[in-house]
Structure 1
Amino acid sequence: MVDWNAGLYLKFEDERTRPSIDLLGRVPLEEATSCVDIGCGPGNSTELIAKRYPAARVLGIDNSPDMLAKARARLPDLRFEEADIANWQTDERFDLIFANAVLQWLPGHPGLLKRLVSFLKDGGCLAVQMPNNLNEPSHRLMAQIAQETRWAEKLSSAIKAKETIGSFEDYYGWLRQAGCAVDIWQTTYIHPLDGAEAIVEWFKSTGLKPYIDPLSPEERSEYLRRYHAAIAQAYPTQQDGKVLLRFPRLFFVARRQ
């Protein structure tokens, strides 16, 4: 994929930050001296961590130069580094590893979680939130429309790809095997948005990227036109003109014992 568009991502900053607030609220650490926000994006979640633990060293890492530029401008007193979480290694040990809406992009979760837990101090927490919406119309329609177009072959990798989300039992078992106490839950957020166009704009910066990044400008315009029309049918307009975007998210907080 091409680089993330931080400006487009931040169009829905309040809605995107709400899961970070809820996740951080379940972290049981009263104090922390070292925290890392992996997949920190434009720094909205990193800011929450810094406010919760003002005495801690807080690091943000991301693989997007545009996201990191926004984060550094937002939080000039914190440290941000460009890194690929899939291969990230560190000698530092953390009280808190925070991962909001990032691990779903990575494969091999049993090994990934074991590695991240190994970077925790004893008693430290791995706090994770992942979208769990592959069965929602917003995501089913992405693949359906891609299959119906003349450039379906160009999008075959996106059509076949699945974000890596296991079951509650999977994550509980993997984290227990890694030596953690586990708090796991799911929340479905209902976001009132300004019509079908707002839903399209929301996912252009995330879920739609594997579908639209490989396309030419003309193809991208046609794909988005079809997607918009399908979204308008799937999400009916309410009496006040809003549409309601259902957004299930999976959470867990694993504390190393």
Structure 2
Amino acid sequence: MYSDTAQARIPTPTAPTAPSAPTWDPQQYLRHAGHRARPFLDMLTRIPELPTRPARIADLGCGPGNVTTLLTDRWPEARVTGFDLSPEMLHRATEEYAGPTAGGGSLDFRHGDLATWLPEEPYDLIVSNAALQWVPSHPGSFAAWINGLRPGGTFAFQIPANFTAPSHALLAELCDAPRWRARLAGHGARYIHLLEPAEYLARFTELGCAVDVWTTTYHQLLQGPDPVLDWVKGTALRPVLTALGDDRDAVDAFLTEYRDRLREAYPAGPRGTVFPFRRIFAVARKEA
């Protein structure tokens, strides 16, 4: 089993490279859609009533759109736009979900880089689900995003906060190993810019918001062979797989090494593999 001391240690990459934007695989990402959607559903229950109807809503980092549609269940008449940087994700979302909604609202998807995105009109709600961890500068955007809300509007997000867990510590360690360092250093430890919950609380308090910040650790029971590897293939492994590209020998060798380490850290049980996953939530309501 991976020790607590090792779990908290993420190596500092040697001569880090600048990872390019990862190529996303919507089908792989959706293989664990139920577990990935649950935090968003939990967050929705904490969002207060919106100031206008029909509401105007933005989903930052909408991915394949399956979670964005949950917004139209809560606010059926709303005009909802999902923004994402990935052409693959936007294509899947548009094909599957774009168009009028059953409650008389609308759902559409647009290209948007969260590092530079600014509200182009007043919003009642801006949400982000498991996306801001990819944006090192995201705390610097809070003021502009809150300013883009109508009085009484809400900005809410949840982000993974498990980057010292074995799944990510082992990935960073492997990327910095002698065999892989030249190609992958810097690709496994990309999340040290995340703030602590108290720091997010302070940021929104300083902006004059009524704010609710909390953390939850989901003890997920994953099924199938090597399910933790299957999980990270949809998220944390994307920069590595993008960097290795079409070099199938390198991809297979890297995945084999990583798989073996994950098997030791997350042993399979009789009913599945337990994969603890911590997340940070924040719901900030602008003064009415």
TM over 0.5: yes
Q: Per-residue displacement from partner, 1:16-72 (whole Å, max 9, x unpaired)?
A: 111110111110115651111110111122111011111111111111111111111
2:125 corresponds to which residue?
96
Q: Per-residue displacement from partner, 1:149-195 (whole Å, max 9, x unpaired)?
A: 41212112224533531111210111111221110000101111125
Q: Per-residue displacement from partner, 1:208-228 (whole Å, max 9, x unpaired)?
A: 122232123211111110111
Distance 1:62 1:227 in 2: 29
1:37–1:61 CA contact under 8 A, matched in 2: yes
1:81 corresponds to which residue?
110
Structure with more helix by fraction: 1
1:196–1:231 CA contact under 8 A, matched in 2: no
Given the alignment of the two structures, is residue 29 of structure 1 paired with residue 49 of structure 2, yes or no? yes
2:263 corresponds to which residue?
232
1:148 is displaced (CA, Å) by: 2.2
Moved over 3 A (4+): none
203, 214, 218: which is aligned to 2:249?
Answer: 218
Distance 2:24 2:268 in 1: 30
Identity in percent: 36
Given the alignment of the two structures, is residue 17 of structure 1 paired with residue 37 of structure 2, yes or no? yes
2:169 corresponds to which residue?
140
2:281 corresponds to which residue?
251
1:35–1:57 CA contact under 8 A, matched in 2: yes
What is the root-mean-square deviation in Å for CA atoms of aligned residues?
A: 1.5
**5+ long unaligned stretches in structure 1:** none
Give, as a single letter, the amino acid of the residue that structure 2 aligns with 1:11.
R
Of residues 225-234 and 153-162 in structure 1, the stretch that sits farther from structure 2 once superposed is 153-162
Q: Tell me, what secondary structure is at the counterpart of 1:183?
A: strand
1:107 corresponds to which residue?
136
Distance 2:38 2:155 in 1: 18
**5+ long unaligned stretches in structure 2:** 1-20, 100-106
